[in-house]
Amino acid sequence: MLEAKCPECGRKAQVDDDMENVKCPQCGFTAKYDDYIEIMKGKAVMMSDDFQNSWDKNPF
């Protein structure tokens, strides 16, 4: 069983052995693996935006 980071709660989610589905036992999040990748891509973009914003506001 592969592990993945849950996009909902940030804890450990589990990837099916066939890489079809991602399930998080902590919060109940489930998604197709392809959808999960898209979600995480979106999160990465948002996180870098947040980082950029806080950097602009508080450079130190």
Identify which range of 19-27, 34-42, 48-56 contacts Zn ion by CB under 5 A: 19-27
* Shortest distance (Å) from residue 13 CB to Zn ion: 6
Taking CB under 5 A as the rule, does residue 5 contact Zn ion? no
CA distances, 41 to each of 10, 11, 26, 45 (Å): 14, 17, 21, 6
Cα dihedral 4, 6, 31, 20 in deg (nearest 10)? 10
Return the amino acid letter for 27.
C
Taking CB under 5 A as the rule, does residue 24 contact Zn ion? yes
User: Which residues in this chain contact Zn ion in the complex, by CB under 5 A?
Assistant: 6, 8-9, 24, 26-27, 29
